[in-house]
Amino acid sequence: MEDLDAWMNLDDYEDFDSQMDYSGNGIQLITFTLQGESYGIDILKVRELISYSTPTVIPNVPECIKGVTNLRGVVVPVVDLRIKFGMPLKEYDKYTVIVVVKVGEKLIGIIVDTVSDVVFLSEDQIQPTPEFSADINTKFIEGMGQIKDDLVILLDIDCVLSEEELGLLPSQLSDA
């Protein structure tokens, strides 16, 4: 995360596959932290990383939607994943990043504590989502990845925001 500018626009970044040394099946991820835990999102869903700036507040949206930001003429809703996941709030700082992802046909910004790395996980490094009691919602977790001694929670970003929440957003926002 030391040089965020190097990661700013993933479309302009050189082909990640040419930089990775792997064989077989797996998934390439952008990893980030929330409350000291590591999470990963399929790199094909990530469009851009931007330094945190305060979004413009919009009324009558769920609490986790902090507002909108203008990304080169496209208005993008911004979601705080800490609030979405019921985590304690944390003051935004110089390491806070907005990860712009494509969810369906919309661009959504998600606020994370810090971006960590781009990694490749082979199939044998990925484990299924653990079984929890019925009242714990794990529909947005695709699995768990093992990178050295660290466990990474693999998010299905399409399931992080419910259809109901996306329906509350003005229809003109962030059509990709």
pLDDT-derived band at 16, boundaries 50, 70, 90? very low
In a domain, 175, yes or no: no
* pLDDT value at residue 70: 93
Q: What value does the mean pLDDT take over residues 111-133?
A: 81
174: in domain = no
Residue 39, judged by CB atoms within 10 A of its CB (0-12, 13-18, 19+), counts as buried
**Bridge-partner residues for 41, per DSSP?**
30, 155
Percent of the chain scored above 70 by pLDDT? 72
Considering its fold, how many domains does the chain have in total?
1
Kindly state whether residue 176 falls inside one of the protein's structural domains: no
Burial 132-145 (b: 16+ CB within 10 A, else e): eeeeeeeebbbbbb
In a domain, 173, yes or no: no
Q: Give CA–CA dist 101/48, Å, rounded.
A: 7
User: Is residue 36 helix, strand or coil?
Assistant: coil
Would you say residue 14 has pLDDT above 50?
Answer: no
**What pLDDT is stored for residue 22 in this prediction?**
44
- 4: buried, middle or exposed (CB in 10 Å: 19+, 13-18, 0-12)? middle
Return the pLDDT at 141: 83
pLDDT tens per residue across span 45-102: 999 999 999 999 988 888 889 999 999 999 999 999 999 989 999 999 999 999 999 9
| Domain residue limits at 139 | 4-167
More confident position, 9 or 51: 51
| Residue 142 domain-assigned (yes or no) | yes
Classify residue 51: in a domain, yes or no.
Answer: yes
Q: pLDDT at position 131, please?
A: 62
State the CB neighbour count (10 A cutoff) for residue 100.
24
CATH of the domain at 117: 2.40.50.180
Q: Answer whether 115's CB lies under 8 Å from 32's CB.
A: yes
